[in-house]
A and B are shown apart, each in its own frame.
Chain A
Amino acid sequence: GDSVTQMEGPVTLSEEAFLTINCTYTATGYPSLFWYVQYPGEGLQLLLKATKADDKGSNKGFEATYRKETTSFHLEKGSVQVSDSAVYFCALTLNAGNNRKLIWGLGTSLAVNP
């Protein structure tokens, strides 16, 4: 079945370090891919998305490229800040009429130290 696999956390980095959070997926058809972020004590927020192969989503210095050949959507940021400390979720959706549900990864916790 359709699934999303994320690297396990927690990930701990120093400020200004480079970040990569791996995400791979299994899906029939052509999914849209998403990264959501959850800051402490809050609900999830959409961070970025990509709808087709080779699309690059970007927001707030984060980027992810939809790689169909490797079924991946890795999240990257060149220089993390303390304020990026959060849990990051990779997700996919397949357009299917009324069955509009996201398939989620388990989340990766990121802690950035000053």
Chain B
Amino acid sequence: DAGITQSPRHKVTETGTPVTLRCHQTENHRYMYWYRQDPGHGLRLIHYSYGVKDTDKGEVSDGYSVSRSKTEDFLLTLESATSSQTSVYFCAISESDSSGEKLFFGSGTQLSVL
């Protein structure tokens, strides 16, 4: 157990409203990631962070912003939710050893934008 908690687990919202998803870790890992998972697309990286206040875009970052003011928390914000952002969102942390990347995932947030 890598100590990752995502909240909320489920969220239903309306188009145009702001939404914030939270990822909390207890292991003090430097790297944190937000992915979305959609049928036919697999996992796609939205944003990632390599330290407090250090973030960078992934492949599908449009319409999303992130913040990391503390090591343990990584927030994903949809400023104005759209139906195309209906998805399952996963937070992950990385524990790197000499073999490369090894990710630990949270349980996911199911977001429905109506």
Contact = CB atoms under 8 A, between A and B. Distances in A.
Contacts of A42: 107-108
Interface string B92-112: 101010111111111110000
Interface in A39-71: 41-46, 49, 51
A103 to B, nearest CB: 9
For B4, B43, B108, which residue has the most chain A Cβ atoms within 10 angstroms? B43
21 contacts: A31-B100, A32-B99, A34-B102, A41-B107, A43-B107, A43-B108, A44-B105, A45-B105, A46-B102, A49-B100, A51-B100, A89-B43, A93-B100, A93-B101, A98-B50, A100-B31, A100-B50, A100-B96, A100-B101, A101-B33, A104-B42
Nearest to A33: B100
A102 B101 contact: yes
Interface of B: 4, 31, 33, 40-43, 45, 48, 50, 58, 90, 92, 94, 96, 98-108
Contacts of B50: 98, 100
Taking chain A's interface residues, is the majority helix, strand, or loop, or is none over half, making it mixed? Answer: loop
Nearest to B88: A43
Contacts of A51: 98-100
Contacts of B99: 32, 49, 51
Contacts of A94: 100
A104 B99 CA distance: 17
Given A42-B107, A43-B107, A43-B108, A101 B40 contact: no
Contacts of B100: 31-32, 49, 51, 93-95
8 closest cross-chain pairs (CB), A and B: A43-B105, A32-B100, A93-B101, A106-B42, A51-B99, A93-B100, A44-B105, A104-B43
